[in-house]
Amino acid sequence: MVESDHTKRYRTRMQRKKEVIDEAIARANREQGLLLILTGNGKGKSSSAFGMLARALGHGMRVGVAQFIKGRSDTGEEAFFSKQDNVIWHVLGEGFTWDTQNLERDTETAQRGWVIVQKMLCDSSIKLIVLDELTYPLKFGWLDIAAVLNDLRNRPSMQHVVITGRAAPDALCEMADTVTEMADVKHAFRAGIQAQKGIDL
């Protein structure tokens, strides 16, 4: 069968693309524990982190979760993951800061929580840690950013850490290996739709 010009051009283009991708894959030949930040105002930060948690569990890895801001206790992720083998699940926050309205208490709660995180950051048997909504304790000054960065830097070399929350501090993003900013293009809540099970909680 005679190949049309269009088909030939398509094949050449795809061949070139494959060469570029294969080269990039060959260059990325190191293994390392990663620090990932999921930030921005759009939806998808925590749910992406829990997606990676599921992936890691699928590979038989031991994982840990620390939730810093406890918005609600009826989430699907907590119900599902906390009863799986290989999952350590810590709820460290008491609620939204605008509920407690007490700086001293919020600071104490966050610092007590960080001691628990420090233990996970010293345990090389935990292969992936999700620090959900950690950006808020940093933003409100309940935790010292330099101390947090130091503990993250000194963790086991093959341990992955995923941090979620809006307004991730610059210093944290600079240290991270992968930073994703979710953009808020549209959200159903603004059209008057309440949080939906399986989507929002």
Contact 166, 39 (CB under 8 A): yes
What are phi and psi for residue 128, nearest 5 degrees?
A: -145, 135
Between the alpha carbon of residue 52 and those of residues 45, 127, 160, 187, the distances in Å are 11, 12, 10, 23
Contact 43, 182 (CB under 8 A): yes
Give the SS3 label for residue 56. Answer: helix
Residue nearest to ligand ATP (CB): 200
Number of Cβ atoms within 10 Å of the Cβ of 156: 13
Cα-Cα-Cα-Cα dihedral of 134, 137, 138, 144, to 10°?
-120
Distance of alpha carbon 185 from alpha carbon 86, whole angstroms: 36
Residue nearer to ligand ATP on the CB measure, 64 or 165: 165
Residue 43 touches which of ligand ATP, Mg ion, none (Cβ within 5-8 Å per kind)? ligand ATP
Residue nearer to Mg ion on the CB measure, 70 or 155: 70
Q: Which of 40, 43, 46, 130 binds Mg ion (CB under 5 A)?
A: 46
CB of residue 23 to ligand ATP, shortest distance in Å: 34
CB of residue 70 to ligand ATP, shortest distance in Å: 11
Residue 189 touches which of ligand ATP, Mg ion, none (Cβ within 5-8 Å per kind)? ligand ATP
Does 44 engage in binding with ligand ATP (CB under 6 A)?
yes
CB of residue 118 to ligand ATP, shortest distance in Å: 23
Q: Which of 35, 36, 39, 43 binds ligand ATP (CB under 6 A)?
A: 43
Does 41 engage in binding with ligand ATP (CB under 6 A)?
yes
Give the SS3 label for residue 2. Answer: coil
Residue nearer to ligand ATP on the CB measure, 171 or 195: 195
Strand partners, 67: 91, 132
H/E run at residue 181 = strand 178-181
Binding window for Mg ion (CB under 5 A); candidates: 19-27, 28-36, 46-54, 102-110: 46-54
Interacting residue ranges for Mg ion, rule: CB under 5 A? 45-46
Interacting residue ranges for ligand ATP, rule: CB under 6 A? 41-47, 164, 166, 182, 184, 187, 189, 195, 200-201
